[in-house]
Amino acid sequence: MSSPEIASLSWGQMKVKGCSTTYKDCKVWPGGSRTWDWRETGTNHSPGVQPADLEEVVKKGVKTLVIGRGMSEALQVPPSTVDYLKKNGIDAVVLQTEKAVAEYNALAARGVKVGGVFHSTC
């Protein structure tokens, strides 16, 4: 199963190829995607992305996980979150969201088992 292409990104809106939903923030993995609802884990811009935000994508067997920190990189990614991925044998890529989407799509196009969590506003 391949990772779906992110078809479009603009402030506050993301579309995943093959999915009719428009996301604000989203999680993607080989074979699927869904809304990333920060309220599920109590995530805020600071301290930022927590391992609990990534567990669902990690369980999908990804080899690389791309984290989009927002258009202005307001979303923090603490070292403990990157360490969590490394301990699970997963390469972490943390970038501004437009760059993160480009990197994710490039990896997906090469057939890498890539997942992502993306914040599409600040």
- Inter-residue contact 23 to 14 (CB < 8 Å): yes
> What is the CATH number that goes with domain 6-118?
3.40.1230.10
Task: Write down the residue that tokens 């996301």 correspond to.
Answer: 23
pLDDT in tens, 78-108: 999 999 999 999 999 999 999 999 999 999 9
Task: Write down the residue that tokens 């391949």 correspond to.
Answer: 2
pLDDT score for 93: 98
Q: How far apart are CA 50 and CA 79, in angstroms?
A: 10
pLDDT score for 82: 98
Closest CA to 23 of 121, 94, 108, 100: 121
Domain positions in the chain = 6-118
- Inter-residue contact 112 to 28 (CB < 8 Å): no
pLDDT in tens, 36-81: 999 999 999 999 999 999 999 999 999 999 999 999 999 999 999 9
